[in-house]
A and B are shown apart, each in its own frame.
Chain A
Amino acid sequence: MVLAGVSLLPGFTVIGIVLGGIYALAAIGLVLIYRVSGVLNFAHGAVAMFSTFVAYQVSVKSGLPGWLGLIAAIAVGIGIGFIIERFTMRPLTGRPALTKVVVTIGWLLVLQTLAGRIWGQNAYHSPVRLVSKSGFRLIGTSVVVGYDQLTTVIVAVVLALATAAVLRFTTLGASMRAVADDPESARLWGISVNRVTAASWMVGSAMAAIAGVLITPLINFDTFSLTLVVIDAFTAALIGRLTSLPYAVVGAGLLGLAQTYPRAFFNTSGVSEAVTFGLLLIALAVLFRPGARKLRMA
């Protein structure tokens, strides 16, 4: 059984990397929102889930092409991000961070229930496909890589790089970094903190939407499982100490692989969750030691 497991590893590496790419996207959105607005968005997974179900509605139920579904999902993600920030976060300016977190828990319940009522709870849904299911054999090996998997990794890498570029080279990015470092001085420099914060919520939620759509072929896609992607995003983001995007991406890759490999050896359900929990504990314990070094966002 162990040998059989080992022979599965190359193929599982591919799955792990793909999963890692998706977690990276989700984590980037989470970190972006946290750094700029100071809010840890527990509804991040729920936003991803709701947007993804919009894509499902457009492309699977209405039969339109997958990319249209993706665009619809992104639009909805941006819309939800805007609503959360504008109507429930901005009025709470100056209140404890924990209060804002509990509000995002409220959003988690709202989005989760709404999606469950519209698209059915805990039922299997066929995934949103952006590209065909076929694949190619990796040269010199017996490992087959699906075109959808390849697309996922490419999208994840491109978006991660694009985010880094935006943060580094554009005015919006500079404003975001300024607000993340010190909102008060940012305000003095004439940066509209409200607008930048709203932008971070919208961009971050759009990333969540993309991650959600991309993950559908990989998991048992229902309202609950997608909402729980937030814990994977948290774990990846925590490896980047909730501040560094590059480290969060590395953490996401690590998490993807760590969740996938044990499945080659164990059949017990929940092993991935146990691994996630282990990594989460380690990340919290090691990285939040008092006096741990501070990281920069990008």
Chain B
Amino acid sequence: MTADARVVRWTAVGVGIALGVLIPAFLSNFLRSLASDAAIAGLIVLSLVVLTGLVGQISFCQYSFAAIGAFTVGSLVAGHHWEFWLALLVGVCFAAAVGVLVAIPALRLSGLFLAILTIGVALFFDRFLLAPGTWDSFSGGTSSWRPGRPSFFGIGLRGEYAFYLFVFGILLVACLLVWNLRTGKTGRVLRAVRESEVAASTVGLNLTAWKLTAFGISAALAGLAGGLSAVRVGSASAGSYDFLHSVIIAAIATVVGVGAITSAPVGGMFLLFVPEIMRAWTPFSTQWFPFVTGILLIFQLVYAPDGAVVDSERRIMRRLHPPAPPPTADDTATPERVLARTST
């Protein structure tokens, strides 16, 4: 990447972060709580950036993983008076473990059948596991858990703006970590597995381990989102994590594109603010939102297959970064010398 393009990218990121911090300062508490929800939804979109964007696998059960985080936090904090942070950590690990568990049958399945499996998982959670009477000490039964908000190094997070800054910060850190994963070995290896499984295994990659890792990371991110949303709302109830939520977030992730980290905040904002915009400025109520998402999804897949964010990002980068001239060999270390040094 040229220096210019790098400057533009980091400036854009900086402006984005500044706007993300400043704008909610001037919003009503209602919109601030919505912004928190958007950041939390952004984490779920990020979980799909890992799973769909890197491994090429669609999932319709991300909110089931989120539910694990939410109910772990709910039951431990409200039911057993645990410290929030510890409960959150347990929730994230639990979600990751379940993600790995779901991935085990998935290892043998190609994309389509894995998609069916994830729907099965979502409904199993939704209709059975979290239904009252099945596992009440986890799901809270007919009454929902009411975990209180934590404090962050002594700073109370009761205020909506403080809480927003807290989840926004977590989203940023998560985005940074996923960015590092994507640009490092992990991202390269996962994309290789997506491109050709047989080649990936013949060059020495353990497909099983890598697929399980990807599912684990993705489920952990979703679980983190769930744990945060439990304290954002102040309660955990099964209805907020049902199959339809998972389908809608998968649709939104596809519309904005799973090839870019930027999709996470954009997707989160889409989920929370488009319905508000619809209510405020169009004759349609928020309940038409899934309809709009569905239509966008269909049109986008037929006409802009990589997703809106990825498409526009690529367009901007192409303008800033015309095809590079062929790189020349590094003349400080001659290739023969490097080979001799590294091949033994």
The reply to whether B115 and A269 contact each other, CB–CB distance below 8 Å, is no
A95-B305, A105-B247, A273-B128 known; A281+B120 contact, CB < 8 A: yes
The reply to whether B117 and A98 contact each other, CB–CB distance below 8 Å, is no
Minimum distance in angstroms from A293 CB to a CB of chain B: 16
In the bound complex, residues from chain B placing their C-beta under 8 Å from that of A276 are 120, 123
- B268-284: contact bitstring with A at CB < 8 Å (1 yes, 0 no)? 00000000000000000
- A87-112: contact bitstring with B at CB < 8 Å (1 yes, 0 no)? 01001100101110111011111101
CB of B169 closer than 8 Å to a CB of A: no
In the bound complex, residues from chain B placing their C-beta under 8 Å from that of A98 are 56, 58, 111-112, 115
- CB within 8 Å of A: which B37-66 residues: 56, 58, 60
CB of B119 closer than 8 Å to a CB of A: yes
CB of B192 closer than 8 Å to a CB of A: no
**Interface segment, B84-92, B228-236, B286-294, B316-324?**
B286-294
In the bound complex, residues from chain B placing their C-beta under 8 Å from that of A270 are 127-129, 131, 134
Minimum distance in angstroms from B300 CB to a CB of chain A: 9
- B122-145: contact bitstring with A at CB < 8 Å (1 yes, 0 no)? 011011110111100000000000
CB of B302 closer than 8 Å to a CB of A: yes
A109-B251, A109-B297 known; A274+B109 contact, CB < 8 A: no
Contact of B301 among A103, A108, A110 (CB under 8 A): A103
- A113-139: contact bitstring with B at CB < 8 Å (1 yes, 0 no)? 110110001000000000000000000
A99-B301, A271-B128, A289-B108 known; A112+B290 contact, CB < 8 A: yes
CB of A231 closer than 8 Å to a CB of B: yes
Minimum distance in angstroms from B279 CB to a CB of chain A: 14
Residue of A114, A234, A277 contacting most chain B CB atoms (<10 Å): A277
Give Cα A111 to B300, complex, Å.
18
The reply to whether B112 and A40 contact each other, CB–CB distance below 8 Å, is yes
The reply to whether A110 and B295 contact each other, CB–CB distance below 8 Å, is yes
Minimum distance in angstroms from A96 CB to a CB of chain B: 8
Main secondary structure of the interface of A (DSSP, over half): helix
Contact of A101 among B112, B287, B305 (CB under 8 A): B112
CB of B100 closer than 8 Å to a CB of A: no
Give Cα A106 to B60, complex, Å.
13
> In the complex, what residue of chain B is closest to A104 when comparing beta carbons?
B298
Contact of B290 among A109, A269, A288 (CB under 8 A): A109
Give Cα A234 to B112, complex, Å.
11
Give the A-B contact count at a CB cut-off of 8 A: 139
In the bound complex, residues from chain A placing their C-beta under 8 Å from that of B120 are 231, 234-235, 276-277, 280-281
Contact of B294 among A92, A110, A267, A268 (CB under 8 A): A110
Interface size on A, residues (CB 8 A): 46
Give Cα A99 to B258, complex, Å.
13
- CB within 8 Å of B: which A242-296 residues: 267-271, 273-274, 276-277, 280-281, 284-285, 288-290
CB of A238 closer than 8 Å to a CB of B: yes
CB of A8 closer than 8 Å to a CB of B: no
In the bound complex, residues from chain A placing their C-beta under 8 Å from that of B293 are 106, 109
Contact of A107 among B112, B113, B294 (CB under 8 A): B294
In the bound complex, residues from chain B placing their C-beta under 8 Å from that of A228 are 123, 243
Minimum distance in angstroms from A33 CB to a CB of chain B: 13
The reply to whether A108 and B294 contact each other, CB–CB distance below 8 Å, is yes
CB of A224 closer than 8 Å to a CB of B: yes
In the bound complex, residues from chain B placing their C-beta under 8 Å from that of A284 are 105, 109, 113, 116-117
The reply to whether B108 and A288 contact each other, CB–CB distance below 8 Å, is yes
The 9 A-B pairs of least Cβ separation, nearest first, read A109-B294, A270-B128, A106-B297, A113-B291, A110-B294, A273-B127, A106-B298, A277-B124, A270-B127
B→A interface (CB under 8 Å): 56, 58, 60, 105, 108-109, 111-113, 115-117, 119-121, 123-124, 126-129, 131-134, 243-244, 247-248, 250-251, 254, 287-291, 293-298, 301-302, 305
A→B interface (CB under 8 Å): 40, 42, 88, 91-92, 95, 97-99, 101-103, 105-110, 112-114, 116-117, 121, 224, 228, 231, 234-235, 238, 267-271, 273-274, 276-277, 280-281, 284-285, 288-290
Could you show 6 A-B contacts with beta carbons less than 8 Å apart? A40-B116, A42-B119, A99-B301, A106-B298, A273-B124, A276-B123
